[in-house]
Structure 1
Amino acid sequence: MNKTDRLLAIVLELQRYKVVRAEDLAATFETSVRTIYRDIQALSEAGVSIIGAPGQGYSLMEGYFLPPVSFTVEEAVTLLIGTEFVEQWFDTRYGGKSRTSRGKIEAILPETVRSEASRIRKSFRFIASAKDAARIQERAYVEVIRRAILEERKIRFRYSKSIAETNGNRQSIRTVAPYGLVIVQGAWVLIGWCELRQSIRHFRLSRMMELIDLEDRFEKPKTFLLDEYQPPDDRNVRVKVLVQSDIADKVKESSNFYTETMEEHADGLHVTFRVRQPEELLHWVLGLGGGAVVLEPESFRHRVKMELEKMLKRY
Structure 2
Amino acid sequence: MNKTDRLLAIVLELERKKVVRAEDLATLFETSVRTIYRDIQALSEAGVPIIGAPGTGYSLMEGYFLPPISFTVQEAVSLLIGTDFIEQQFDDDYRVRAQAARSKIETLLPESVRNEAARIRQSMRLLISDKQVMPSKEKKYLEKIRRALLNGRKISFHYAKKLPDFEGNRYSVRTVAPYGLVLVQGSWMLVARCDLRQDIRHFRLSRMTELIDLEERFELPVYFNLRDYTPPDDRHLQVRLRFNPDISDRVKESNYQYIEAMEEHQDGLHVVLRVRQLEELLQWVLGWGAAVSVLEPESFRNQIREEVEKMLKRY
TM category (shorter chain) comes to: over 0.9
What is the aligned partner in structure 2 of residue 284 from structure 1? Answer: 284
Amino acid at match of 1:51: I
Q: Is the 8 A contact 2:240 2:294 kept in 1?
A: yes
Alignment of 1:8-157 (within 5 A): 8-157=8-157
What is the aligned partner in structure 2 of residue 237 from structure 1? Answer: 237
3-12 vs 206-215, which moves further: 206-215
Question: SS of the counterpart of 1:120?
Answer: helix
User: Deviations for 1:51-103, whole angstroms, at most 9, x for unmatched residues?
Assistant: 11222211111122110111000000001111111111111111111111111
Amino acid at match of 2:150: L
Are residues 137 and 253 of structure 1, via their aligned partners in 2, closer, same or farther at CA, if it must alter by over 3 Å? Answer: farther
110-119 vs 283-292, which moves further: 283-292
Count of equivalent residues: 314
Question: SS of the counterpart of 1:170?
Answer: strand
Are residues 166 and 217 of structure 1, via their aligned partners in 2, closer, same or farther at CA, if it must alter by over 3 Å? Answer: farther
22-31 vs 99-108, which moves further: 22-31
Q: Is the 8 A contact 2:240 2:271 kept in 1?
A: yes
Question: Could you tell me how far apart the structure 2 residues matched to 1:165 and 1:221 are?
Answer: 34
User: Deviations for 1:267-305, whole angstroms, at most 9, x for unmatched residues?
Assistant: 221111111122211111111111111112222222222
Q: After TM superposition, give the deviation of residue 113 of structure 1 in Å.
A: 0.3
TM-score normalised by structure 1 residue count: 0.94
Question: Could you tell me how far apart the structure 2 residues matched to 1:21 and 1:306 are?
Answer: 63
Are residues 141 and 76 of structure 1, via their aligned partners in 2, closer, same or farther at CA, if it must alter by over 3 Å? Answer: same
141-150 vs 237-246, which moves further: 237-246
249-258 vs 199-208, which moves further: 249-258
Question: Could you tell me how far apart the structure 2 residues matched to 1:127 and 1:2 are?
Answer: 36
User: Deviations for 1:124-169, whole angstroms, at most 9, x for unmatched residues?
Assistant: 21234322344433222110000000111111112122x3156665
Question: Could you tell me how far apart the structure 2 residues matched to 1:36 and 1:73 are?
Answer: 29
Question: Which 4+ residue blocks in structure 1 deviate beyond 6 angstroms?
Answer: none
Q: After TM superposition, give the deviation of residue 47 of structure 1 in Å.
A: 2.1
Unaligned ranges ≥5, structure 1? none
Question: SS of the counterpart of 1:125?
Answer: coil
